[in-house]
Amino acid sequence: MEFHIALTDASPRPEVVQDAMFDIDPSALVDLDMSGLVMRISSWVPVKDLIGVLRQTGWTVEPEQVVQLPSICCGGCSG
């Protein structure tokens, strides 16, 4: 699943989030969109758990900040 989170003044760097995500999903990918205003996270974790990980970094993320994009999985890998 891909999630987009609107950044705030208190947002951590993507590397900090990547490190925090590693404990729950070692294959998660974290980066910023081209505008630099949205953090993108690709992970299998449910949104509730994702928000919990983000809050562990000290980022006060509200559920309405997190947008889950529709799956683009083709099913080709059976995953």
Per-residue model confidence (pLDDT) at position 71: 77
Per-residue model confidence (pLDDT) at position 79: 53
Q: For helices 47-56 and 14-22, what crossing angle results, to 10°?
A: 120
Task: For the chain, give every domain's residue range.
Answer: 2-68
What is the Cα–Cα distance from 78 to 21, expressed in whole angstroms? 24
Selection from 64, 59, 63, 15 nearest residue 41 by Cα:
15
Selection from 41, 38, 15, 39 nearest residue 28 by Cα:
41
What is the Cα–Cα distance from 38 to 48, expressed in whole angstroms? 19
Q: How do the pLDDT tens digits run along the chain, 79 residues long? A: 899 999 988 889 999 999 999 999 999 999 999 999 999 999 999 999 999 999 999 999 999 999 999 877 766 665 5
CATH class of 2-68: alpha beta
